[in-house]
Amino acid sequence: MRLKAIVSYDGSSFSGYQIQPGKRTVQLELENVLCAMHKGEIVKVVASGRTDAGVHATGQVIHFDSTLTIPMENWRTAFNVQLPGDIRILSVEQVRDDFHARYDATGKTYRYIWSLNQVHSPFERNYSVHADRYRPNIELMKESTVYLLGTHDFSSFCASNTSVKDFVRTVRSIELEFKKETNQLHMVINGNGFLYNMVRIIAGTLWEIAIGKKSVGELQGIVESCDRSQAGKTAPAHGLYLENVEYSQ
């Protein structure tokens, strides 16, 4: 049967999601557990998409096939007792045999977090990006998001080392939220899909607008240029979270 699981992980100690030779990755840890559960049989895990080193997930989605007869309500515990503490399975359910975690996804939500605290707590340093001496103009960030909403060629917001041929994506919403209780700024972005490093480049570009390195008026031209060199720097990985993956069924 085919199973779908929602996975949460702290990306701090991983070299990203995808298996790489000699590196600790999320996929490797998941497949090691499944291999042990299946008595040495290799069980491949397919995710909704890969995340880079340092990127976190609160709602990554995977699928895999299994011949085990474990009761469905016991799958989560069976996983979590064997996984390291920085990965947790939140839920497991049986899905149709042709379900695909990546190709069936109809949308994703990411969250990016900046800390505006004067001192970046050591307990926060792996989970938010420090504003340092800057005090961002959040209203300018909000104003500029209008140029990113809708369907565009997002070549300006894609890392150059990609094999993707189609750069057209639809950004459905971008929300900027100041969290007074933690003195953090959150960017929550939803779209039908994202290019390699697209969310981090958008975050980096909006940040440059917020601190006066770019103007709101420049953003429309950046989008239309389809030129990566025109956009802002790629924001650091550790401020990014894959929060939710959407499916039509």
Q: Domain residues of the chain, as ranges?
A: 2-95, 106-247
Q: Which CATH class is domain 2-95?
A: alpha beta
List, in order, residues 6 or more apart from 162 with CB less than 8 Å away: 195, 196
pLDDT higher than threshold 80 for residue 249 = no
pLDDT digits (tens, 9 = 90+) for 84-97: 999 999 999 999 99
- Please provide the distance, in angstroms rounded to a whole number, between the alpha carbons at the two ends of the chain: 18
CA dihedral 169, 171, 127, 196 (to 10 degrees): 10
- Domain range 106-247, its CATH number among 1.10.150.120, 3.80.30.20, 3.30.70.660, 3.40.50.2300: 3.30.70.660
* Active-site residue, selected from the candidate residues 52, 97, 98, 166: 52
Grouping H, G, I as helix, E, B as strand and the rest as coil, residue 246 is strand
Main-chain phi, psi angles of 231, to 5 degrees: -80, 175
Q: Would the CATH topology of 2-95 be identical to that of 106-247?
A: yes
Mean pLDDT score across all residues of the chain: 96
Question: Does the predicted model carry a pTM greater than 0.85?
Answer: yes
What DSSP line would sit under 137-181, residue for residue?
-HHHHHHHGGGTSEEEE-GGGS-SS------EEEEEEEEEEEETT
What is the model's pLDDT at position 164? 86
User: Does residue 98 have an active-site annotation?
Assistant: no
Q: Which of 85-94, 161-170, 222-231 has the lowest mean pLDDT?
A: 161-170
pLDDT digits (tens, 9 = 90+) for 19-68: 999 999 999 999 999 999 999 999 999 999 999 999 999 999 999 999 99
